[in-house]
């Protein structure tokens, strides 16, 4: 009988949305109970858990989407003012995986683009052009294939950016 909720928990663990997870877990549990009550077999319980997990996830995910649209509407104009038109040089970078570089400069443009220029130890220069927006004290940087959310604070000429997998300290270049 506990197999359904266990399957639901495993399925939901890969999803980052709160209501999607809750919906998958609840749907899996309810589906397992209904499957057992109707079919009175392990197979019926597993089928009920699988169907319930999927339906619960879909419903929860739709709730997440609705909440995100509501937040987006409240913040229709991203608050990029504190970073727009500024340039920062990384002075300290702590990451799970080291990032080899001689220098790293981040230019936050007023058109909601951030240009990161990394000079490698061998002198080679790499540039990344990414979209960004700021919601509260969280800059959200995204490019096809990934998204980065990090908390930041500006203290005079110093910018501190923190996320679960990295911490960066930058000095204002302009």
> How would residue 141 be classed by pLDDT, with cut points 50, 70 and 90?
confident
Same domain, 20 and 70: yes
Confidence of residue 6 (pLDDT cuts 50, 70, 90): very low
* pLDDT tens string 34-57: 988 999 999 988 898 889 888 888
Q: Tell me if 120 sits within 8 A of 100, measured CB to CB.
A: yes
Domain assignment present for 80: no
The pLDDT confidence band at residue 14, using thresholds 50, 70 and 90, is very low
What count of Cα atoms within 13 Å lies in the side-chain half-sphere of residue 8?
33
More confident residue, 143 or 159: 159
Is the pLDDT assigned to residue 76 strictly greater than 70? no
C-beta of residue 164 within 8 angstroms of C-beta of residue 149: no
168: which 2 tokens?
């960066």
Residue 131 falls within a domain, yes or no?
Answer: yes
CA 108, 111, 116: angle at the middle one, nearest 5? 30
* Pair 81, 110: CB distance under 8 Å: no
State the average pLDDT for the chain. Answer: 79
Same domain, yes or no, for 147 and 118? yes
Cβ burial 125-150 (10 Å sphere, 16+ → b, else e): eeeeebebbbeeeebebeeeeeebeb
Name the band, by pLDDT with cuts 50, 70 and 90, for residue 4: very low
Give the number of domains in the chain: 2
Strands (E), the chain: 86-95, 103-108, 113-119, 125-135, 138-143, 146-149, 151-155, 158-163, 166-172
Which of 45, 74, 103 is where one domain is finished?
A: 74
14 within domain boundaries: yes
Rg (CA), the chain: 22
Residues 70 and 111 in one domain: no
| Total residues belonging to the chain | 174
Look at residue 61 and tell me whether its pLDDT is greater than 90.
Answer: no
Last-in-domain residue among 74, 104, 133: 74
Closest CA to 50 of 68, 71, 72, 34: 34
Q: What is the pLDDT of residue 101?
A: 82
Last residue of a domain, one of 43, 74, 105: 74
Q: Is residue 144 part of a domain?
A: yes
- 41: containing domain: 3-74
CATH for 98: 2.40.128.280
Same domain, 135 and 108: yes
Instruction: Report helix, strand or coil for 128.
Output: strand
pLDDT at 99: 74
Average pLDDT on 126-138 reads: 86
* 157 and 125 both lie in a single domain: yes
Q: CA–CA separation, 31 vs 125, rounded Å? A: 55
* Domain presence at residue 16: yes
């Amino acid at each position: 009988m506990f197999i359904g909720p266990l399957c639901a928990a495993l399925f939901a663990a890969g999803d980052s949305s709160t209501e999607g997870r809750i919906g998958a877990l609840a749907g899996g549990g309810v589906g397992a109970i209904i499957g057992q009550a109707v079919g009175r077999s392990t197979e019926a319980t597993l089928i009920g858990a699988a169907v319930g997990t999927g339906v619960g996830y879909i419903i929860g995910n739709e709730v997440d989407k609705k909440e995100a649209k509501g937040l987006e509407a409240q913040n229709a104009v991203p608050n990029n003012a504190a970073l727009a038109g500024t340039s920062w040089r990384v002075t300290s970078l702590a990451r799970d995986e080291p990032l080899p570089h001689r220098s790293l400069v981040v230019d936050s443009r007023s058109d909601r683009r951030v240009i990161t220029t990394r000079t490698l130890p061998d002198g080679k220069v790499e540039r990344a052009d990414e979209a960004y927006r700021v919601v509260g004290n969280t800059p959200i940087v995204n490019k096809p294939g990934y998204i980065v959310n990090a908390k930041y604070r500006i203290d005079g000429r110093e910018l501190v950016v923190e996320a679960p997998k990295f911490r960066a300290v930058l000095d204002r270049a302009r």
